Amino acid sequence: MLGAATRRGALLLAALTAAGAVRAAAAGPRIEVWRDPGCGCCGAWARHMRQAGFEVVVHEVEDVAPVKRANGVPEALWSCHTAIVAGYVVEGHVPAADVRRLLAERPPARGLAVPGMPPSAPGMDIPGTPYDVLLFGGSGGGDRVFARH
């Protein structure tokens, strides 16, 4: 028969395990970001994603171009950082809501991109400039507008 101390220890272990499982379930999708360590807007975009509930893992690299090439991002769509979430590429300052929509709809594509650095995109945060989020690498070829902001 278990002693009182052993039972308390077992109950504590079970409670801690359950709490960890709840925290893990509550965490949003994991998104890995490759960025230049000196780029402030990339850090601001990562904060935007964290605030939206994503688990953000940042990899600081001196040259992000090899990551872009390895993940099939066309040069015309390049921005300052590249991310991967659930098998999709997220290039540049894509809003968190668009990434959530991508994950919900799961279209047959490589990912989403906001080419360049539009001033009003998340992480840039200077309102007033419209921009498009593009879905790229789809089975039909070509890029299409996924969202307009």
What does the pLDDT look like over 12-68, one tens digit per residue? Answer: 344 444 444 434 445 689 999 999 999 989 999 999 999 999 999 999 999 999 999
Which residues have CB under 8 Å from 52's CB, separation 6+? 28, 96, 97, 100
Instruction: Summarize pLDDT for 112-130 with one digit per residue, the tens.
Output: 999 999 999 999 999 999 9
CA distance 120 to 132: 11
- 28-148 is a CATH 3.40.50.300 domain: no
CA distance 83 to 41: 14
What ranges do the domains of the chain cover?
A: 28-148
Instruction: Summarize pLDDT for 82-97 with one digit per residue, the tens.
Output: 999 999 999 999 999 9
Number of H helices, E strands in the chain: 4, 7
Tell which residue, 64, 70, 101, has the closest CA to residue 82. 64
